[in-house]
Amino acid sequence: MPADTPPLLSMRGIDKSFPGVHALRGVDLSLAHGEVLALLGENGAGKSTLMKVLAGVYPPDAGRILLAGAEVRFRTPQQARRAGVAVIHQELNLIPALTGCENIFLGQEGSAGLVSRGAEARAAAALLARLGLSVPLHVPCRRLTVAQQQIVEIAKALLHDARIIVMDEPTAALTPLETRQLFRIVGELKARGLGIVYISHRLEEIFQVADRIAVLRDGANVRDCATAAVDRPALIEMMVGRALTEEYPRRVPRIGPPRLVAEGLVRGRAVRGVSLEVRRGEVLAVTGLVGSGRTETARLIFGADRPEAGRVLLDGRALRVRGPRDAIRAGIALLPEDRKTEGLVLAHALRDNFALPNLSWLSRLGFVRRRLERERYAEYASRLRVRAPAPTERARNLSGGNQQKLVLAKWLARRCNVLLFDEPTRGIDVGARYEIYRLINDLAAEGKAILMISSDLPEVLGMADRILVMHEGRITGEITDARRADQRQIMELAVRGAEEAA
């Protein structure tokens, strides 16, 4: 491409403020044809706001946007899409009841309202063939895997002749194999001359897929450089504004007798005879491929689902867990994988979310003791360093890390002795991750039993004392000393399970 060819995208001096928040401070961003740009920064750094300005969701207060050298001004997302800007959000924008083909062509029907299903199917197949992909487009999207749904989103973008595709945490729910397939698709899009803005908190991916890195902090540019010109520690320091000498805080484990024991848990094909124990002061990690039964096992222990067989014991005493209420009373807490829909009421205030599972001791004669509620919320918010403007702030307005701390705060107030963490740092930036890890270590040091479900293998190796690997509802292997294990060993156990099942 000639040296004087303007960049595919140029954002210059973008400024954006909201009441009480200066979100973007003169941000510059450029993207070349056929380039993958990693846009990095902590939660609240301004990444999402900048991309919403690009996508026409927010108008900039100041600054210019140029596509291939021509200035544009998007007043709506529809205008941005027509200009070739597509955004694939972490929460995919598909209608579950419609087929993949129907989702791809939604809004593209003819002016007479007539739809040619055959023509749409042929066009959709041609779109996927251009990428060398095959997805069952005739089935409802709710029956597709997350990876297949992402392919449908990419096909939608290509249908609109997208020149720029923004991918926000695209691998958050993908298996390693699906992640590699996504990287291959990104390579195909690059070869076609598209520009990709890639947003992820998984730094190991950045060095695999990105050509260049742009880092934001507190709404301003920090650095823009080639990926090859920076290493992981330097990248973390740019993001958080300080050096992190270690990503996983050290802990000297003091492990006691078994605290939580599950024996022979069964629920259909999802959980098939799972037995495990978590000891006082121990962090037990459960990992495996997506669909291995990890989350389903935690839900059985917590009473969110009813087992067909098996039992749960706490401190040697058999529990009758008929629902989450029984588990909570016994001192078992679940921090769910999807904290936004299952861990919090996003429309409610922080203090209200904190109080929900604690009303039994925060109320008297049916009335909430507001003073006690305020005092206890302040105590735990301070202990966990929940950063928020006020206790009356809505939970939806917190960053991912602070939302996770809020979920943890409400359970600590119940003095729970067993904590089930399901994907504890999904969608959380590197600085907030360290704080969550520190809290997990502190809880283990207090003698609490921690069961941590995670698909992030560096996290598993960095935090666990012991590791269980699952495949298709069964435990296929155990690593008794996590500190001497590696990712290859874990994946061999997961793949061995797949081979034995075959």
200-256: per-residue pLDDT in tens?
Answer: 888 889 999 999 999 999 899 999 999 999 998 899 889 888 776 678 888 889 999
Angle between helices 430-445 and 400-412 (to 10 degrees): 20
Q: What are the strands of the beta sheet with 332-335, ordered from one edge?
A: 332-335, 418-422, 449-453, 283-288, 466-471, 474-479
393-415: average pLDDT: 89
**Helices H / strands E in the chain, number of each:** 17, 22
With 80 as the cut, is the pLDDT of residue 174 above it?
no
Residue-level pLDDT at 1: 57
Q: What is the 3-state secondary structure of 306-325?
A: CCCEEEEEECCEEECCCCHH
Q: Give the integer Cα–Cα distance in Å for 239 and 131.
A: 34
Q: Give the integer Cα–Cα distance in Å for 64 and 196.
A: 20
The pair of three-digit structure tokens given for residue 395, joined into one six-digit string = 């939970």
Q: Which of 215, 225, 171, 273 is nearest to 40 (CA)?
A: 215
With 70 as the cut, is the pLDDT of residue 496 above it?
no
Average pLDDT of the chain, as a whole number: 89
Task: List b or e across 366-398, with b for residues whose CB sees 16 or more CB atoms inside 10 angstroms.
Answer: eeebeeebeebbeebbeebebebeebeebbeeb
Q: Give SS3 for 326.
A: helix
Give the position of tokens 């479900």.
453
Give the position of tokens 């390693």.
176
**Phi and psi (nearest 5°) for 60?**
-70, 145
With 50 as the cut, is the pLDDT of residue 501 above it?
no
The pair of three-digit structure tokens given for residue 215, joined into one six-digit string = 């880092």
Q: Give the integer Cα–Cα distance in Å for 64 and 28.
A: 9
Ranges 119-123, 212-216, 364-368, 378-382, most confident: 212-216
Selected residue with higher pLDDT from 493 and 27: 27
Q: Which of 322, 407, 402, 403 is nearest to 357 (CA)?
A: 407
With 50 as the cut, is the pLDDT of residue 198 above it?
yes
**Phi and psi (nearest 5°) for 276?**
-155, 165
The pair of three-digit structure tokens given for residue 98, joined into one six-digit string = 């419609």
Residue-level pLDDT at 285: 96
Residue-level pLDDT at 115: 61
Residue-level pLDDT at 113: 54
Give the position of tokens 């121990």.
282
Q: How many residues does the chain have?
A: 502
Least confident of 114-118, 385-389, 399-403, 494-498: 494-498
Q: Give the integer Cα–Cα distance in Å for 173 and 480.
A: 27
294-303: average pLDDT: 95
Q: Burial level of 69, CB count in 10 A (0-12/13-18/19+)?
A: exposed
Q: What is the pTM of this model?
A: 0.73
112-116: average pLDDT: 57
Please state, as a whole number, how many other Cβ atoms lie within 10 Å of the Cβ of residue 190: 17
The pair of three-digit structure tokens given for residue 314, joined into one six-digit string = 């706490």
% of the chain with per-residue pLDDT over 90: 57
Catalogue the E-assigned strands of 145-206: 164-168, 195-199
Q: Give SS3 for 330.
A: helix
For residue 391, what pLDDT band results from cuts at 50, 70 and 90?
very high
For residue 111, what pLDDT band results from cuts at 50, 70 and 90?
very low
The pair of three-digit structure tokens given for residue 308, joined into one six-digit string = 């067909």
Least confident of 115-129, 447-461, 479-493: 115-129
DSSP secondary structure letter of residue 340 = I
Q: Which of 455, 403, 408, 458 is nearest to 432 (CA)?
A: 403
CB 474 within 8 A of CB 265: no
Q: Which of 274, 422, 283, 278 is nearest to 343 (CA)?
A: 422
Selected residue with higher pLDDT from 499 and 368: 368
Selected residue with higher pLDDT from 496 and 274: 274
**Phi and psi (nearest 5°) for 86?**
-125, 140
What is the largest distance, in Å, between two alpha-carbon atoms of the chain?
Answer: 77
